[in-house]
Structure 1
């Protein structure tokens, strides 16, 4: 599924790369830029966390003319007199005005590096509203954003993930064998599909899928340790042998009546006794009020 999203065959929408301090998703983000430029698309980058030189490092120089870097790395909060781009310009109206300056007519890919920086300075509802407007299409063909999930509360991360058409959560692989990408894709009909893949990124920023984890969604140790037996070192035996189990099954429990015992207890022979009560004349018994003789 990851190669399909990289090549744009899934189509448009909002792709969210979710990483953490254990594994950075910026190289995968650059792979998306590389793939878009290879398709001869125009790419706009809102850069907050790395410089323009660092972002372009490794990309094909022949396609740099189609890459527009809006520099928010130097002065993201607009403290100088003439900032290039600030975090407060992250709104649909100002972004549209910014994109028109490049005089580009066909739809382009928008890359946000990163959403975490924006969410630290702009309220979540405003950011989500802008993302919702951007992913609808029009001038923007697709939106690709990087989010550091361990920097935010779970509810905030969930709100942003809910807007995304595809969420790619990356984590380190086992024994240094690449990384693992868990991809969740939502179709227009509402169907949700998930997949986990082991991938690696080459020097030319191409992504190679190596396979699938042996146990999706879990992290395994290099050597599987056998489960400890809690009865291994006891001084007495908790298990029964076959003969002991057979003798146990044949044992008659004292509170369980056999068929013969039930018959003997319920059978009334000629010597059985009965208690008969015949009221005499001194008995004051009222059929309508049996408790009339009680002092209540």
Structure 2
């Protein structure tokens, strides 16, 4: 599933790469960008966490002419007033204005590195609203963002992931050779699919799937065991074979056996009967059941 998302350009796609302090997702982000540049798409990067030279490192130089880096790293708050992009310009109107300054192309991908920087200066509601405005604007084909999930409350992360068409959580593999990607993908029809894969990223930022997560996490599964909640109790919660057999053979007082049912239903001589003799007040008119009522 990971390669399918990387190699295809789905219209209206919103992809979130979630990482933590244990595993950085920027290399995978650059792998997405490298694949988009090779498809001759225009990629606009709103960079706030690393400088342009560091961000371009490793990308295929034959295709980087399609990459436009909007520098929000040097002066993100716009104190000097001479840089082309600041965090205050994180609006659909400003971003589309920057996109229109470049040469017109059929496909444009917007990359935000990272969305965690925006969440430090804007409320989650504002960030979600502006992402939705960008998706509805029509100038972008897809949006790709990096999100440091361990810096925010889970409710905020969940709200952002609810907007995404694909969420990729990266984590280190047990062997240290691979990185695990837990991918959740939502189609236009509403179908949600999940998959875990182990992948590697080469020096030229090409992503390759090495194995399914069940193969690369064998060590973790063997070491993980379920704790026994009844291990250290002062009384026994389990039954021996003799106790279990006695329990199964026990007749409960509220459960009637077939013999007891037959004995209760069998007519016996001298058993009591109810005899009813109607009197004059019991005259019942079938045509007027309410005849005895004073109405």
| TM-score over 0.5 for the pair | yes
Partner of 1:108: 108
Cα distance in 1 for partners of 2:191, 2:33 equals 27
- With over 3 angstroms needed to count, the CA separation of the structure-2 counterparts of 1:218 and 1:241, relative to structure 1, is closer
How far 1:53 moved relative to its partner?
0.5
Partner of 1:153: 153
- With over 3 angstroms needed to count, the CA separation of the structure-2 counterparts of 1:7 and 1:246, relative to structure 1, is closer
- With over 3 angstroms needed to count, the CA separation of the structure-2 counterparts of 1:196 and 1:73, relative to structure 1, is same
Partner of 1:14: 14
Partner of 2:136: 136
Unaligned runs of 5+ in 2: 232-237, 251-258, 260-295
How far 1:11 moved relative to its partner?
4.5
Cα distance in 2 for partners of 1:152, 1:247 equals 56
8 Å CA contact 1:108–1:142 kept in 2: the answer is yes
Per-residue Cα deviation, 1:130-152 (whole angstroms, up to 9, x for no partner): 11122236221100000000101
- With over 3 angstroms needed to count, the CA separation of the structure-2 counterparts of 1:154 and 1:63, relative to structure 1, is same
2:123 is the counterpart of 1:123: yes
Partner of 2:26: 26
Aligned 1:1-296 pairs, distance under 5 A? 1-8=1-8, 10-136=10-136, 138-214=138-214, 220=220, 223=223
How far 1:99 moved relative to its partner?
1.2
- With over 3 angstroms needed to count, the CA separation of the structure-2 counterparts of 1:155 and 1:250, relative to structure 1, is closer
Per-residue Cα deviation, 1:208-265 (whole angstroms, up to 9, x for no partner): 111212289998266567988x88xxxxxx98688x99999999xxxxxxx9xxxxxx
SS in 2 for 1:18: strand
How far 1:127 moved relative to its partner?
1.2
8 Å CA contact 2:72–2:86 kept in 1: the answer is yes
8 Å CA contact 1:6–1:35 kept in 2: the answer is yes
How far 1:36 moved relative to its partner?
0.1
Partner of 2:235: none
Cα distance in 2 for partners of 1:153, 1:170 equals 18
Cα distance in 2 for partners of 1:49, 1:108 equals 22
CA RMSD, 1 decimal = 3.9
Report which stretch shifted further, 39-48 or 92-101. 92-101
SS in 2 for 1:69: strand
| TM-score normalised by length of structure 1 | 0.75
| TM-score normalised by length of structure 2 | 0.75
- Give the paired residue count: 264
SS in 2 for 1:99: helix
Cα distance in 2 for partners of 1:172, 1:81 equals 41
8 Å CA contact 1:21–1:150 kept in 2: the answer is yes
8 Å CA contact 2:10–2:141 kept in 1: the answer is no
Cα distance in 2 for partners of 1:86, 1:163 equals 24
- With over 3 angstroms needed to count, the CA separation of the structure-2 counterparts of 1:184 and 1:43, relative to structure 1, is same
Unaligned runs of 5+ in 1: 232-237, 252-258, 260-296
